[in-house]
Structure 1
Amino acid sequence: MPIHSLGYLRINVTDVEKWRTFAGEFLALQEVPGPTEGALHYRIDDFQHRLALIPAESPGLRAAGFQVTHARDLETAIQKLEAAGVTVARGGKEDCEARRVSGFAAFTDPSGNPIELFHGPRFDHSEVRTPGVSRFVTGDLGMGHIILNVTDVEAAYAFYVDLLGFTERNTTETPAGMLYFLGCNARQHTLGLAPSSGPGLLHFMFEGGSLDDVGRALDRAYDLGVPMMQSLGRHTNDHMVSFYVWSPDLHAVEFGYDGDRVGIDAPSYDITEGAFWGHRFTPPPAPSA
């Protein structure tokens, strides 16, 4: 497949200090110096950073970056996108430096979600420090997974599967329409497409290396007053044990363990329940006065 994994997220945020507590103290990501002035940069493995939180007047996804194998694969992907009528912007030296990559290209999906493909991430060879988390599950599985809101789910499916090479892993019917879970490596899903009235980042997930990592994260959520979204539970599609919280900008953020690894040619299926047990929902907190 041309796409290897989810490599990084760049997110616009309106309250940097709330996100510093959320990402650094609750998620236990390692805050590191970064190239984007005023932004927060977080490391979880050899990548110099996987998450960049950028101050902005309004919150939203700035870019979801998917890794390809090397420069030739990136060029092949660009040519395929342009042949399909997609406008693609190649990243310059300064833009590459901001992402700590050797090359990248930016475009939008049919709903307007900002997507980037990149190759050659720059590594930090010092020991990563994530107190409270034994390790984050990354490597060949990438950073984790995301769910994007899309306005036309069938157009989005065609874009990500036919143009970008994702494969369908499972589906589930929602009141708004079909939700697709797509994979690009052994992680059961790297990308979800959720029908919605507008684009945006609905959800992102980090996976810890042990069940104790999940338990400690749950304790930190209670200690820090991070609002719960879904209680501890086990999913029916990837079998991950996890819980969800509301981010400072009300994304659904999942912390889990023991997600399934599947074969590239594993057949797709439809789920009729989201969880075997748990994952009881709590509405988002009311806006501050």
Structure 2
Amino acid sequence: MGVRSLGYLRLESNDIDKWKAFGGDFLGLMPVEGADPESLHFRMDDYPARIVVSPGAQPGMTALGFEVLDERELAGLVADVEKAGIKVTAGTEAEAAARKVTGFVKFNDPGGNPVELFYGTTLDHVPVQTPLVSKFVTGDMGFGHAIISAEDARTTFEFYVNVLGFIERNTMRSPGGTTWFMGCNPRHHTLGVTPMPGPGRLLHFMVEGATLDDVGRALDRAGKYEVPMMHTLGKHTNDHMVSFYVWSPENYAVEFGWNGLKVPEPVPVYEITDGAFWGHHFTPPPMPPAAG
């Protein structure tokens, strides 16, 4: 029993127009109508909206939406989360309808990051239409991965492993402390937690294209639309993904990658000593990162 995938990401932005161009014109996501006409809803596959961006004064993440198997599995996880001393709130029928799920709950992880557990997605059988990406790699691996922060990263990591059922994949030490990478399906990692002062927040999320050409064309679009680069094209040492990173309108990072490592069965945990075999050279953000 445990989380099966990262099903959706809910964000807030103080510049919806920039995000509309960023999500649609650059990332190649398919904009669709949703329950809130003021929010942006983006499809990648047959899920109704993998990324939802709402207007807000405090830009950042409002929910990591993790998918579970069914109502019974959700109930078991809720009991485990409450045993860990964390208050869980059930989503209302209206909130579930807006997310197009049968049921969900919400709580903050030990680092303060907002989490939702859901089941029973209402699928959209109209094919995704985007001329910019051949296909996004999703399915039972979810829409991608997210890296979050926590002041006490170890405690937060242990919560995801011991309570929500994630599997530790690898670690990386840096002057700021240890970052943990965790999986919950064949995707090498669905979640990473890194130490950082203050309330937990989103550091980056990743979407994966089906071909190397998808990455190359996205890189061309980043140049065309003057999207600020965070990491140049490179290849990771932990999941072997070829990718690049840009700064989002709110200055957390977004990774566009291809050919990430699949781990169908548990393997021994390992530590990496460098984030990339080659490339991934860093460029600072155009302004200080937004809180959230």
TM-score scaled to structure 2, two decimals? 0.97
Aligned mates of 1:84, 1:202 — CA distance in 2? 25
Tell me which residue corresponds to 1:115.
Answer: 115
Aligned mates of 1:123, 1:7 — CA distance in 2? 12
Aligned mates of 2:260, 2:20 — CA distance in 1? 27
Tell me which residue corresponds to 1:255.
Answer: 256
Tell me which residue corresponds to 1:218.
Answer: 219
Tell me which residue corresponds to 1:207.
Answer: 208
Aligned-pair distance for 1:157?
Answer: 1.3
Aligned-pair distance for 1:82?
Answer: 1.3
The gaps in structure 2 that reach 5 residues or longer are none
* AA matched with 2:36: T
CA gap 1:39/1:165 in 2 versus in 1, 3 angstroms: same
Tell me which residue corresponds to 2:132.
Answer: 132
Runs of 4+ residues deviating >3 angstroms = none
Task: Map residues 138-157 of structure 1 onto 2, 5 A cutoff.
Answer: 138-157=138-157
Question: Would the aligned equivalents of 2:251 and 2:287 in 1 still touch at CA under 8 Å?
Answer: no
Aligned mates of 2:188, 2:216 — CA distance in 1? 22
Deviations 1:163-213 (A, max 9, x none): 101010000001110000000000000000010012100000000000000
Tell me which residue corresponds to 1:11.
Answer: 11
Aligned mates of 1:122, 1:194 — CA distance in 2? 33
Give SS of 1:66's match. Answer: strand
Deviations 1:60-107 (A, max 9, x none): 210000000111100111111112221000111101012111100100
Aligned mates of 1:84, 1:149 — CA distance in 2? 20
Task: Map residues 9-158 of structure 1 onto 2, 5 A cutoff.
Answer: 9-158=9-158
Moved more, 83-92 or 116-125: 83-92
Aligned mates of 1:223, 1:195 — CA distance in 2? 34
Aligned-pair distance for 1:2?
Answer: 1.5
* Percent identity for Structure 1 against Structure 2: 53
Indicate yes or no: 2:243 matched with 1:242: yes
Deviations 1:205-261 (A, max 9, x none): 000000000000000000000000100000000000000000000011000000000
Aligned mates of 1:110, 1:84 — CA distance in 2? 10
Deviations 1:114-133 (A, max 9, x none): 00100011110011012210
Aligned mates of 2:55, 2:33 — CA distance in 1? 15
Aligned-pair distance for 1:58?
Answer: 1.5
Give SS of 1:250's match. Answer: coil
Question: Would the aligned equivalents of 1:44 and 1:130 in 2 still touch at CA under 8 Å?
Answer: no
Aligned mates of 1:134, 1:2 — CA distance in 2? 31
Aligned mates of 2:161, 2:103 — CA distance in 1? 23
Moved more, 80-89 or 106-115: 80-89
Question: Would the aligned equivalents of 1:232 and 1:242 in 2 still touch at CA under 8 Å?
Answer: yes
TM-score scaled to structure 1, two decimals? 0.98
Aligned-pair distance for 1:156?
Answer: 0.4
Give SS of 1:3's match. Answer: coil
The gaps in structure 1 that reach 5 residues or longer are none
After superposition, the CA RMSD in angstroms is: 0.9
Tell me which residue corresponds to 1:190.
Answer: 190
Give SS of 2:82's match. Answer: helix
Aligned mates of 1:273, 1:208 — CA distance in 2? 24
Aligned mates of 1:66, 1:59 — CA distance in 2? 21
Question: Would the aligned equivalents of 1:38 and 1:54 in 2 still touch at CA under 8 Å?
Answer: yes
Aligned length: 287
Question: Would the aligned equivalents of 1:242 and 1:256 in 2 still touch at CA under 8 Å?
Answer: yes
* AA matched with 2:235: R
